[in-house]
Amino acid sequence: MLRKTALITGASGGIGLDLAVLAARDGFDCVLIARNEKKLTELKNVLEKRYQIKAYTFAADLSQADSVSRVLTYLDEQELTVDLLFNNAGFATSGRFAEIDPSEDIDSIHVNVVALTELTKRLLPGMVDRGFGRILNVASVAAFMPGPYMSVYYATKAYVLSFSEALASELDGSGVTVSCLCPGPTDTNFFNRANITLPFQSMPSHLVAFAGYRGTLKGKRVIVPGASNRAMVSLAKFLPRRLLTELTGRIQDPARQEQDTTEEDLAYSN
């Protein structure tokens, strides 16, 4: 039987690394993509040794316009076809939109939206021809609401959810399914990179990845891991949009977070 191949973006850490472990454990060869080559090579070595699969690494900065073309060229050179595509790489900027470095916001749109769309566009036709494929796009609970002080990030994830659901509908009956994973706060490097404190209630990355992986293999359209995240998403669907936006803004307001920290610090010093 021909071995199947999974391509995972953002495989150097967090949810992507855990998705790669799950795919390798099931016997899929893995193409690991992220910027950090050293971490990818470490993961490749572990996966090949532990699960007797073949892993390939390709270091790429997905914010760069030619990155997806370079990935495609690499796949051709290695004569690889992709059966499972995990569009997981992503990052957030935080703060007042007017004050965030423009290049950071634009880079995040490239990674979260453009690279995800381009990889899907370039790999989907082959899946449709072969009559089999599984695509997982990683969005967030942020996809269900506007997010003041993380406005671009929330908007990119709304795109990912809308795009995934629409594509899943177009592909009905084709043998190719599209799933969208919408995690709530998850314990990874994500918050560090976004310069925000990890919320008190966060899920372990491997549980989030497992829910996404299992849902993808089953062809589930939208996967929200964790009961409290599902409750939040349900509430978001019913609240008036403006109220929802104000509430999210209050939680994420950097001035408010600073004030909370100061009060907390004072309580400790008393």
Ligand X SMILES: NC(=O)c1ccc[n+]([C@@H]2O[C@H](COP(=O)([O-])OP(=O)(O)OC[C@H]3O[C@@H](n4cnc5c(N)ncnc54)[C@H](OP(=O)(O)O)[C@@H]3O)[C@@H](O)[C@H]2O)c1
With CB under 6 A as the contact rule, the residue among 162, 169, 174, 189 that binds ligand X is: 189
Q: By CB under 6 A, is residue 140 in contact with ligand X?
A: yes
Q: By CB under 6 A, is residue 151 in contact with ligand X?
A: no
CA separation for the pair 83, 176 (Å, rounded):
9
Q: What is the DSSP string of 140-193?
A: -GGGGS--TTSHHHHHHHHHHHHHHHHHHHHTTTTTEEEEEE---SEESTHHHH
Contact 86, 9 (CB under 8 A): yes
Which is nearer to ligand X, 14 or 148 (by Cβ)? Answer: 14
Q: Which is it for strands 133-138 and 176-181: parallel, antiparallel or unpaired?
A: parallel
Which is nearer to ligand X, 89 or 168 (by Cβ)? Answer: 89
Q: By CB under 6 A, is residue 61 in contact with ligand X?
A: yes
Q: How far is the CB of 252 from ligand X (least distance, A)?
A: 13
The stretch among 8-16, 22-30, 117-125, 262-270 that binds ligand X (CB under 6 A) is 8-16
Contact 224, 157 (CB under 8 A): no
Q: By CB under 6 A, is residue 225 in contact with ligand X?
A: no
Q: How far is the CB of 141 from ligand X (least distance, A)?
A: 7
Q: By CB under 6 A, is residue 57 in contact with ligand X?
A: no
Q: Which is it for strands 5-9 and 29-34: parallel, antiparallel or unpaired?
A: parallel
Q: By CB under 6 A, is residue 193 in contact with ligand X?
A: yes
Which is nearer to ligand X, 186 or 216 (by Cβ)? Answer: 186
Which is nearer to ligand X, 140 or 164 (by Cβ)? Answer: 140
Q: By CB under 6 A, is residue 13 in contact with ligand X?
A: yes
Per CB under 6 A, which of residues 18..47 are in contact with ligand X?
A: 34-36
Per CB under 6 A, which of residues 72..111 are in contact with ligand X?
A: 88-91, 111
- 153 flagged as catalytic: yes
Instruction: Give 188's contacts (C-beta < 8 A, 6+ positions apart).
Output: 13, 14, 15, 205
Q: Which is it for strands 84-87 and 5-9: parallel, antiparallel or unpaired?
A: parallel
Q: How far is the CB of 117 from ligand X (least distance, A)?
A: 14
CA separation for the pair 107, 98 (Å, rounded):
16
Q: How far is the CB of 204 from ligand X (least distance, A)?
A: 11
Outline where the chain has alpha helix (H): 14-25, 37-51, 67-77, 102-109, 116-130, 151-170, 190-193, 205-218, 227-238, 241-252, 254-269
The stretch among 4-12, 231-239, 244-252, 255-263 that binds ligand X (CB under 6 A) is 4-12
- Residues tagged active-site: 153
